[in-house]
């Protein structure tokens, strides 16, 4: 069997964050041994999965 590196199904994006928020993100990521990217993806996934539709209530 031969190793064949593959790209994941990801998209590179860019956005601006307040410096103090970025510092907090970096701290939480470091405290949990995650890259900034891994931490932010998990935060976004959590936020999206926990959004409640105002019309549902």
Instruction: Determine the pLDDT at residue 10.
Output: 85
Instruction: Determine the pLDDT at residue 18.
Output: 98
Where does residue 42 rank: exposed (0-12), middle (13-18), buried (19+ CB within 10 A)?
middle
Using the Cα atoms of residue 31, residue 36, residue 38 and residue 43 in order, give the sign of their dihedral: positive
pTM of the predicted protein model:
0.73
Q: Domain ranges in the chain?
A: 20-49
| Residue ranges of the chain with per-residue pLDDT less than 70 | 5, 53-57
């Amino acid at each position: 069997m031969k190793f064949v590196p593959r790209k994941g199904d990801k998209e590179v994006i860019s956005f601006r964050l307040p410096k103090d928020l970025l510092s907090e993100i970096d701290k939480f990521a470091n405290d949990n041994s995650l890259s900034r990217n891994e931490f932010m993806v998990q935060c976004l996934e959590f936020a999206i999965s926990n959004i409640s539709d105002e019309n549902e209530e």
